[in-house]
Chain A
Amino acid sequence: DSGVTQTPKHLITATGQRVTLRCSPRSGDLSVYWYQQSLDQGLQFLIQYYNGEERAKGNILERFSAQQFPDLHSELNLSSLELGDSALYFCASSVGTGKLSVYEQYFGPGTRLTVT
């Protein structure tokens, strides 16, 4: 158990709908990262938050957005869902972030999203 929790574990929804995925980082971790894993694209970095502020953006679609709340949990919002958005969505956390410093990232169990 990494200490990172994600809910829900599974989500099935229809095209055009909007869903919210939730992540609670490990105790003491200030940084939260979101990743998408699909069979064709592999594991792709989406976005990072550190202590409530957006720090890095990867291959995140405009239909997707995220935020980190004062209690450090994070939510990933996916809207106008398409069949191609079906994937495993992972949240990871680390204690810090910064230039020339690297930190261990611990992953949650993931949310499996199926868009029908």
Chain B
Amino acid sequence: SQELEQSPQSLIVQEGKNLTINCTSSKTLYGLYWYKQKYGEGLIFLMMLQKGGEEKSHEKITAKLDEKKQQSSLHITASQPSHAGIYLCGAGTYSGAGSYQLTFGKGTKLSVIP
């Protein structure tokens, strides 16, 4: 089965600093999703990457997909307290019957100190 490893598990940064979160898959990626979650709340969709080399940005958050390495990175520039939360990556896989499902990493907990 698909396994996703996120690193680091937690991160504490000073406001204004840049940071990167990584997500590595044990299998071929068919779609890589990034979500943000406040503790105990719903997941907020950030970005979905499909093709190797693809890069997407939303405000100060940029995500890249390295298909060969089966890896994605999420980069936040000039972090703000509003960026604090748990970042989850999810990878799509296909079963033999053609069904598609997402497997998620354990998450990276980000704290931003004002």
Contacts and interface: CB of A to CB of B under 8 A. Distances in A.
A104 B104 contact: no
Contacts of A56: 95, 99-101
Interface stretch (A13-21, A41-49, A61-69): A41-49
Contacts of A33: 101-102
Contacts of A42: 104-107
Interface residues of B, number: 27
A90 B42 contact: yes
Contacts of A104: 33, 45, 48
Contacts of A12: none
Given A43-B88, A48-B101, A112-B40, A107 B48 contact: no
Interface of B: 30-31, 33, 35, 40-45, 48, 50, 88, 90, 92, 94-95, 98-107
Interface of A: 2, 33, 42-45, 48, 55-58, 88, 90, 92, 97-100, 102, 104-110, 112
